[in-house]
Amino acid sequence: MRRTKEDAEQTRLKIIAAALELFSRNGYSNTTLAMIADSAGFSRGPIYWHFKSKDELYEAVLAYSQAPLEQLIARSRKLADEPLVALEHFIDDWFRLLLEDRWYRQSFEILLNKTELTAQMASTLKRERKLTRDMVQLLEALVERSQQTPGTGNCQSPRRVALLLYSSLMGITHTWLLSPKLFSLREQTPFMASNLLALVTSHAPSSVTSQASEGA
């Protein structure tokens, strides 16, 4: 029985790996279950044993490949007593995962460049939006705590800073995946990471500060 469960899990992971590769290469719409089965070395039977539909398989692919991001969020929360350390860890590991974790990188490729998100993917959309909220809320909490640290210069709205950090990370990710020859992410990571962290530690430009005060 134990061996059977292990075999079943190995089969499931092979299906997920094959689907991830094909989704990232061809896009969701242009990838069929028959293509996934052929790539994984199975008939379609094992796919339907583990997944009711292509949508369910797609959701499983994203859940599995984005697990490192969920773990990163959890680790960063544990570092909340040292908010600047936690922020630096989050930013550095975001880039490290993009460079070193192929499945993680492909999950962004699928979501950002290879999938038309429709109402049929309601559960996937719900999951991705929750993950986005979790990241923004984490960044906001860390920024707010960092502002309580003596010597931290930026006193802008933690929410605004968090949204800018998250949007910057996603923008860099999208640009690099769409045009990888535009710049070397490995070479640019130190510059990008230090400047993103500076959004938290540096004083806000006077014009921005005054606008924030006027809008309050």
Same-domain status, 97 and 195: yes
Question: Do 8 and 98 belong to one domain?
Answer: no
* Domain presence at residue 117: yes
**Which CATH number characterizes residue 125's domain?**
1.10.357.10
CA-CA distance, 23 to 28, in Å (whole number)?
5
pLDDT digits (tens, 9 = 90+) for 91-145: 999 999 999 999 899 889 888 877 776 666 777 888 888 999 999 999 999 999 9
Torsion of CA 193, 195, 196, 201, to 10 degrees: 120
Provide mean pLDDT across the span 74-103.
95
| Statement to judge: residues 8 and 84 lie in one domain | no
Q: What is the pLDDT of residue 9?
A: 85
Does residue 167 have a pLDDT over 80? yes
Q: Which domain holds residue 126?
A: 79-215
Domain assignment present for 70: no
Residue 24 counted as domain residue: yes
Residue 189 lies in a domain: yes
Q: Is residue 54 part of a domain?
A: yes
Torsion of CA 179, 182, 185, 189, to 10 degrees: -130
Answer yes or no: do 30 and 136 share one domain: no
- For residue 2, is pLDDT > 60? no
Spell out the alpha helix ranges (H) of 147-205.
158-178, 185-201
Q: Is 74 contained in some domain?
A: no
Confidence at residue 1, expressed as pLDDT on a 0 to 100 scale: 44
Give residue 119's pLDDT.
66
- Model confidence at 210: pLDDT above 50: no
pLDDT tens sequence across 18-67: 999 999 889 888 899 999 999 999 888 889 899 988 888 988 998 888 89
- Phi/psi of residue 94, each to 5°? -55, -50
Mean pLDDT in residue range 185-193: 97
Are 167 and 84 within one domain? yes
Q: What distance in Å separates the CA atoms of residue 53 and residue 104, rounded to the nearest whole number?
A: 22
Percent of the chain with pLDDT over 70: 88
Same domain, 26 and 85: no
Residue 24 half-sphere exposure toward CB, CA atoms < 13 A: 19
**b/e 9-43 (16+ beta carbons within 10 angstroms → b):** eebbebbbbbbbbbbbeeebeebebeebbebbebe
Note the pLDDT of residue 80.
Answer: 94
User: What CATH number corresponds to the domain at position 17?
Assistant: 1.10.10.60
Residue 141 within any structural domain of the chain: yes
Mean pLDDT of the chain: 87
